[in-house]
Structure 1
Amino acid sequence: MVKSAPSILERARQIVEPEIETAVNELCPELLFPVRYHFGWQEIDGTPSSVRSGKGLRPALAILSAEAVGEPATTGALGAAAVELIHNFSLIHDDIIDGDTERRHRTTVWKAFGVNDAVISGDALHTLAFQILLLDPSPERVTASSRLAKATTLMLAGQAADMSFNDQPIVTFEDCVAMEAGKTGALLGCAASIGAVLSGAQKNQIDALDQYGQKLGIAFQAIDDILGIWGDSEITGKPAGNDLRERKKSMPVAFTLSSNTIEAEELKDIYNKQTDLNDAEIKRAKVLIEKSGGKERTQEEAQNQLSSALKALEGAEFEDKPLEELQEITVFVHERDH
């Protein structure tokens, strides 16, 4: 079942990317260059590029949510573009906050063009998202814009909570899950329902799709946290053990640090070191987290959230084919390696 998921993502990309590019091309030249680079449409020197800009999960959810309530994929395309613009605004700013110099095997926008240009480029994408939705202020588009604004606010609150974890010696596993419900779950919930909103669907359909997306988002992040420690750098595009090197308090780490075990004490000592962590310390931290059950608990959380996502889809009637594709996406999220 998972093998068909990439084709779903590609179908969505072909429908939605032209909407995004049309919106982006309205930007002034000073912003257009770094934004087009970020989306993988051109290189730093301005030459054309065909690099893929991410997995395309959110656009796929948006068009499937329109199809799930009996409307064509194109009904959800504008909403998909708006959500993707918000998502990419957050990525550009996240890279600045985290000091990340590489994303998707390419230099990040701030590293390539400077912090100032990156900040304003992210701001521009945020504004564009609402601009394209409200060009035609129909009731459905106004509702979609309102829901996207709320999801964005929750996403930013989640980001703020994540940043605050740096100053807290102990963060619980439950704290991480709650944080990710905002940081990742809120926007995925919006993506998974915005097509239905633009279609004028029934409230129970919209609510079910939103809940599905929220749960999928938490599962997505749980798996991301696993890949951030144990992922293959050749596939993820990030250094092995990158989250540990940056001392992130992700789900596996939080579980261990709050476990009141010998492993917790040793991991605290590693995280409290004043110097950069070396490869041996990264390797030891991985062992401690696995031994304490942090990896296993995070895998379990991902599975529980995916089960809840599928359960949410039972809350309303949907078209068979898009419903099946939404179910396939949960398998894809569970089995992804980057």
Structure 2
Amino acid sequence: MTLALPAAEAARELVEPVLREAVARLDPLTARVARYHFGWADSDDRPCAGGGKALRPTLAVLSGRAAGADVERCLPAAAAVELVHAFSLLHDDVMDDDPVRRHRPAAWTVFGRSHALLCGNALLTLAGELLLEQETPGCAAAARALNEAALSLMAGQALDLEFQGRDDVTREECLRMSRCKTASLLACACSIGVTAAGGPASLAGSLAAFGAEAGLAFQLADDLLGIWGSTEATGKPVLADLRTRKKSLPVVAALTGPTAAGRRLAELLARPEPLAESDLHDAARLVEEAGGRAWAEAETGRRLDAATRHLDEADLPADVRAEFLHLARFIATRDH
């Protein structure tokens, strides 16, 4: 399923100039890494067409519209959320040794780990700067909310790293990690437009709750793609998460269930030597046999239902509600 929403295309067109202007403030080398990471340039800094789904900026713009704000007023907040997301991806790829991002070499493989990390740090700093320079009470509050989301994201990444050395991770722990690492920033994106515009706290709270549940659905869908997604769709090697023995939600669900397949999976993943291709396919089959895939698919639906209930509680225009719902369904059913 593609993100075929007028809101997404409009948000990308409106937010990208703000992002480019922010990146242009950086030193030349860091700006070059950022342009490559955003998909605006190739490894030789020649302009090219690319970029991500613009999901978080779209949510931020919709959030502002939910509060009745002019779209232009929402753009710094939308750009700031995307800068934090870009920071997290740069650091994620380095920490996970992921060589591919969006169908091409990850930034760290082109410019080196240190430059990729420095670029991520710079983008995180720019995010706060974009909001604080607006000098309004709403944008100051939005900067605080975004900072809290970034700290939560880092806490989630720390848990993710800790899980790599453990064989006793519980499903509840994995869900908590996903709430921090993924859902916190989506919750912020869904509410930051309201906050920046000085809208009602009750509306911001309902949209944040919607985003938190949608964020868990997003992570569940991402974890399913990490095992069963195609390289053509995801831009990453097939069985990528099993290759790195990542404690993703379907894997943890399989490992913690009382099944023979789960026990065999644990033995396979505990082997000290690198897993062969045949081992990876066996592992994917065992995750499915142990019920990990079915649980993750059902949990995705449950989280989407919970997100919808929170949206029903919110007092917002019908067209904005419909676009939020469309985005939530995309999150739960996407193929990349």
Aligned partners of 1:130 and 1:145 also within 8 Å:
yes
Is 1:24 paired with 2:23?
yes
- Tell me the amino acid that sits aligned with residue 32 of structure 1: A
Corresponding residue number in structure 2 for 1:146: 144
The residue correspondences of 1:1-338 to structure 2 (distance < 5 A) are 5-51=4-50, 53-338=51-336
Aligned partners of 1:223 and 1:334 also within 8 Å:
yes
**Partner SS, residue 73 of structure 2:** helix
Rounded Cα–Cα distance in structure 1 between residues aligned with 2:169 and 2:71: 41
Aligned partners of 1:151 and 1:187 also within 8 Å:
yes
- Tell me the amino acid that sits aligned with residue 14 of structure 2: I
Given the two structures, how large is their TM-score scaled by the length of structure 2? 0.97
**Partner SS, residue 43 of structure 1:** coil
Rounded Cα–Cα distance in structure 2 between residues aligned with 1:280 and 1:6: 40
Rounded Cα–Cα distance in structure 1 between residues aligned with 2:196 and 2:215: 21
Rounded Cα–Cα distance in structure 2 between residues aligned with 1:165 and 1:76: 37
Rounded Cα–Cα distance in structure 1 between residues aligned with 2:16 and 2:291: 41
Deviates more, 1:245-254 or 1:8-17: 8-17
- Tell me the amino acid that sits aligned with residue 90 of structure 1: S
CA apart distance, 1:4: 7.2
Cα-to-partner distance string for 1:240-263 (whole Å, 9 max, x where unaligned): 111001100101100111113211
Rounded Cα–Cα distance in structure 1 between residues aligned with 2:24 and 2:95: 26
CA apart distance, 1:73: 2.1
The gaps in structure 2 that reach 5 residues or longer are: none
Cα-to-partner distance string for 1:166-203 (whole Å, 9 max, x where unaligned): 11112122211111111001000110011111111111
Change (3 A) 1:263 1:158: same
Deviates more, 1:200-209 or 1:308-317: 308-317
**Partner SS, residue 167 of structure 1:** coil
- Tell me the amino acid that sits aligned with residue 169 of structure 1: D
The gaps in structure 1 that reach 5 residues or longer are: none
Change (3 A) 1:155 1:137: same
Rounded Cα–Cα distance in structure 1 between residues aligned with 2:45 and 2:7: 30
CA apart distance, 1:5: 4.0
Aligned partners of 1:5 and 1:325 also within 8 Å:
no
Cα-to-partner distance string for 1:72-125 (whole Å, 9 max, x where unaligned): 222221101001000100100111000111100111111100111111111100
RMSD (Å), alpha carbons: 1.2
CA apart distance, 1:8: 2.5
Deviates more, 1:311-320 or 1:94-103: 311-320
Aligned partners of 1:5 and 1:328 also within 8 Å:
no
Cα-to-partner distance string for 1:148-180 (whole Å, 9 max, x where unaligned): 011111111111111111111121222111111
Cα-to-partner distance string for 1:8-51 (whole Å, 9 max, x where unaligned): 32121011111111101111112111111111111111211111
Aligned partners of 1:170 and 1:254 also within 8 Å:
no
Aligned partners of 1:5 and 1:329 also within 8 Å:
no
Rounded Cα–Cα distance in structure 2 between residues aligned with 1:24 and 1:13: 16
Identity of aligned residues (%): 39
Aligned partners of 2:139 and 2:197 also within 8 Å:
no
Rounded Cα–Cα distance in structure 2 between residues aligned with 1:321 and 1:80: 19
Deviates more, 1:65-74 or 1:122-131: 65-74
Rounded Cα–Cα distance in structure 2 between residues aligned with 1:5 and 1:60: 12
CA apart distance, 1:3: 7.2
CA apart distance, 1:136: 2.5
Aligned partners of 1:176 and 1:251 also within 8 Å:
yes
